[in-house]
Amino acid sequence: MKAERSEYRVVIVGAGVIGLYTAHHLARRGAGPILIVDRGFLSSGASGRNGGGVRQQWQTRATIRLARESVAAYRRFARDFGYNPWFRQSGYLFLAEDAAALERLGPVHELVRSEGLSSEWVDAAGVARHVPGIRPGAAVGGTYLGSDGTLYPFPVVWGLHDALRAAGVEILHGIEALGVERDGGRVRALQTSRGRIATPTVVNAAGGWSREFSERCGLAVANRATRHEILATEPLKPFLDPMVVRASDGLYFSQTMRGEIVGGLSPLADPTGSIAMSSSAGFLGRMARALVDLLPGLASVGVLRAWSGLYDDTPDGLPIVGEDPALSGFVHANGFGGHGMMLAPSSTERVARLVLGERIDLDPAEFGPGRFASTGSGRPTEALQLG
C-alpha cells in the first residue's frame, strides 16, 4: 500500500500509542494532512506488549503532572473513543523489603503528596491487607496510591486507530522509515521502503526502534533499546487489587479481570545487546522464584504464556520530547522507557504543540534532546523505571 499523497504536513514514524496519540492531538487542531508509517502491524511493538500499568508515583514533579493528566484522559477514554480500556483504579503498592528500601521511598511519597495526590504509608500489616498471602517478613511497609491502576492496552490502540482513520489520518503498516532528505539544516522529506514522502516535519515515535531511525538520519542520540520479558499465569480466583512493585529488583505484577497474574522483573545484563523479542527459560525461572518467594501460595500455579517487548531507555530515565538541535523539523517523541502507555495522552499533547510551533511547559533541560550534550550535574533523574 502506498501513501495517498506525495506531501504531508506531518509524517509520524511509529504507529504505537505515542505516534497515534500525537496524530490525534494534531488532527484535533486541524494540522493535516498527517501520515503515520510503521514497519510492523498494529500493536506489534511495545504498545501491544506491556503490562498496562498507569501510575502517578514518580521521582520528578513534571512526570507526576504528566501522569496525572494521563490518568484523567484514560478515565474518559471510553467516552472519547468508543472503546473501553477497562481502566481500573485499584491502586499501586510499592513494596519495601527492609528499612533502607522504605527510606528510599520517602522522597517519592512526599513529592507525590505535595502534588495533591493521596499517597499513603502502609506498614507490614497494611501490605498484607493489600496483598493477601504475602510471606510474613517479606515487606516492612511501602507506599500506596489508590488512584493509580491498570488498563488493557489493546483497546487504547484500537480506539485511537479507528478515530484517526475516521478523521482522515492515513496509517500505513509494513513501511520502513529509512531516513530523511535534508534541505540545508532542516527536513525536506522522509525516505521509506516505498519511496520518498515530502514533508517539513518528521516525528520519531518509533519506540524501541527510535535510536535506529535517528541514527539513519545522521543524528546522535542517547536512548537505547533493552528487552524486557513478561508472563501471564492461568486464571485464579480474584484476590489482588493493586499493581505490586518492588523497586529493589524491579518485580511487578497485578491480577487481571480474567484472574491472571501478569508481571515481570528487571532483566539481567545482556552482553550481546540483543533486542530480539523472544522469551527465555532463564526469565521464567527468575520470575517464578521471585513470585513464589513473595507469595508462596502461587507455587502450583501454571504459566500460560510469556513474551517480551522493548523499553526505549534514556540515561536519566526521562523521555525525549522536542525538536532535534541538529535538524529542524525532526521532532523526538521517544525515550519513554517502558512507560509510553502511561504517559502517552499528556506527553503527546506537548509533542503536537511543538510541531505547531507553540511553547510547552516541559523544560528542555529535563526533556529536550539536546540535554545530553551537557556534562554538568544536577539535572533531574527518574530511577523508577519499572512497573
What structural domains and CATH numbers belong to the chain? 10-49+154-223+315-373 (3.50.50.60), 87-148+226-311 (3.30.9.10)
Below-70 pLDDT ranges, the chain: 269-274, 375-378, 385-387
Supply the DSSP symbol for 60: S
Distance separating alpha carbons of residues 233 and 331, to the nearest angstrom: 40
- Of 183, 135, 192, nearest to 14 (Cα)? 192
pLDDT value of position 378: 64
In sequence order, the 6+-apart residues with CB closer than 8 A to the CB of 257 are 86, 88
Hey, what amino acid is at 254?
S
Strand ranges (E), 271-373:
303-313, 320-323, 330-334
Write out pLDDT tens, residues 234-282: 999 999 999 999 988 999 999 999 999 999 999 886 655 667 778 899 9
Contact yes or no for 213/206 (Cβ under 8 A): yes
End-to-end CA separation in angstroms for the chain? 37
Distance separating alpha carbons of residues 345 and 282, to the nearest angstrom: 35
Q: Do strands 320-323 and 243-246 pair parallel, antiparallel, or not at all (unpaired)? A: unpaired
pLDDT value of position 137: 96
Distance separating alpha carbons of residues 367 and 319, to the nearest angstrom: 6
pLDDT value of position 8: 98
pLDDT value of position 321: 98
For Cα atoms 163, 165, 171, give the angle at the middle one, nearest 5 degrees. Answer: 120
pLDDT value of position 374: 74
CA atoms within 13 A on the CB side of 204: 35
Copy the grid coordinates of residue 199: 514533508
For CA atoms 326, 21, 263, 279, the dihedral sign is negative
